[in-house]
């Protein structure tokens, strides 16, 4: 169940503090509340999560925020992904996220490590392909859950678009780019796998994007390579910087107008370098 807003009592119980402390923080402007028609306080889930992460509060009742409780088994993320335990993976990842770990660090750290291990363990077997598809689907669920917990981007937020090129079926890397950029306040539109560069360019124009990412995991098709330079140059002329990344990025000729980066953390760092990440007040 997706929780869109919580009461001060629910948030207080979720982080194990008294309701009066929470009301005091709201009166002091540390947490933004809205009022119902009857005058009762309500807190948007994205604001509640922002407050939890910024104040380093410890979540004791994730269920009150609409999240599964952490798995009691203590199983490692890789094992949970191998078994396709979606709820346990969401609990694992969202607990770290609520503890203040940036989305980029979750992507470059535990998620990447677990998927790399799965790629090695299950290579070239029929069961392995099933495990890889299922683990991918669970990662998609976990990343989608993180996005529902992030505050809506501000009306004046910068925007970014991206995807993976034709012939590239990989769902997770591009979704990671979008979720990590959203985490730093950028409006990020993920077009997903099999996105022709012309479509990414069109979306960038429509969104007036300052940044476009292209995530390349499969060896890129000759048609993609043939137009990569003009794609990057044309977007750059229109104020969109292209960032190329993914496992195959070292096999790409990076045009002077574009950037190349190895991790999701570096993508966020490039966005910060271009001043697309606004300091959050409070």
CA atoms of 51 and 81, how far apart (whole Å): 29
CB 5 within 8 A of CB 45: yes
Q: Does 171 bind ligand B12 (CB under 6 A)?
A: yes
Q: Does 170 bind ligand B12 (CB under 6 A)?
A: yes
Q: Does 73 bind ligand B12 (CB under 6 A)?
A: no
Stretch that binds ligand B12, among 12-20, 127-135, 181-189, 197-205 (CB under 6 A): 127-135
Closest distance to ligand B12 from the beta carbon of 137 (Å):
8
Strands 259-260 and 211-215, sheet pairing: unpaired
CB 130 within 8 A of CB 166: no
Per-residue mark of binding to ligand B12, 195-224 (x: CB under 6 A): ------------------x-x-xx------
Q: Does 118 bind ligand B12 (CB under 6 A)?
A: yes
Kindly report the backbone phi and psi dihedral angles of residue 162, in degrees, each rounded to the nearest multiple of 5, phi listed first: 180, 175
CA atoms of 280 and 109, how far apart (whole Å): 24
Residue 98 or 188: the one with the smaller Cβ distance to ligand B12 is: 188
Residue 10 or 240: the one with the smaller Cβ distance to ligand B12 is: 240
**Closest C-alpha to 177, from 212, 142, 218, 229:** 212
Cα within 13 Å of Cα(95), Cβ side: 16
Per CB under 6 A, the list member of 13, 47, 132, 183 interacting with ligand B12 is: 132
The residues of the shown chain that bind ligand B12, judged by CB under 6 A, are 107-108, 112, 115-116, 118-120, 123, 129, 132-133, 136, 169-173, 176-177, 213, 215, 217-218, 243, 245-247, 261, 263-264, 266-267
């Amino acid at each position: 169940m997706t929780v869109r807003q919580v009461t001060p009592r629910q948030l207080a119980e979720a982080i194990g503090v008294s309701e009066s402390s929470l009301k005091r923080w709201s009166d002091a402007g540390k947490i933004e509340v809205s009022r119902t028609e009857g005058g009762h306080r309500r807190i948007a889930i994205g604001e509640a999560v922002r407050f939890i992460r910024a104040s380093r509060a410890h979540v004791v009742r994730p269920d009150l925020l609409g999240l599964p409780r952490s798995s009691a088994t203590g199983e490692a993320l890789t094992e949970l992904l191998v078994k396709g335990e979606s709820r346990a993976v969401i609990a694992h990842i969202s607990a770290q996220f609520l503890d203040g770990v940036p989305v980029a660090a979750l992507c470059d750290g535990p998620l990447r490590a677990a998927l790399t291990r799965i790629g090695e363990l299950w290579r070239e077997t029929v069961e392995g392909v099933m495990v890889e598809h299922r683990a991918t689907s669970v990662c998609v669920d976990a990343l989608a859950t993180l996005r529902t917990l992030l505050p809506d981007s501000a009306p004046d937020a910068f925007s970014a678009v991206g995807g993976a090129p034709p012939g590239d079926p990989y769902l997770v890397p591009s979704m990671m780019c979008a979720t990590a950029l959203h985490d730093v306040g950028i409006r990020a539109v993920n077009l997903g796998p099999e996105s022709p560069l012309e479509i990414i360019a069109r979306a960038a124009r429509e969104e007036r994007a300052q940044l476009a990412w292209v995530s390349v995991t499969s060896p890129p098709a000759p048609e993609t390579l043939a137009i990569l330079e003009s794609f990057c140059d044309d977007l750059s002329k229109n104020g969109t910087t292209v960032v190329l990344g993914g496992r195959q990025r070292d096999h790409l000729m990076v045009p002077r107008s574009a950037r190349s980066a190895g991790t999701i953390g570096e993508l966020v760092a490039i966005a910060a370098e271009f001043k697309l990440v606004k300091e959050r007040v409070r």
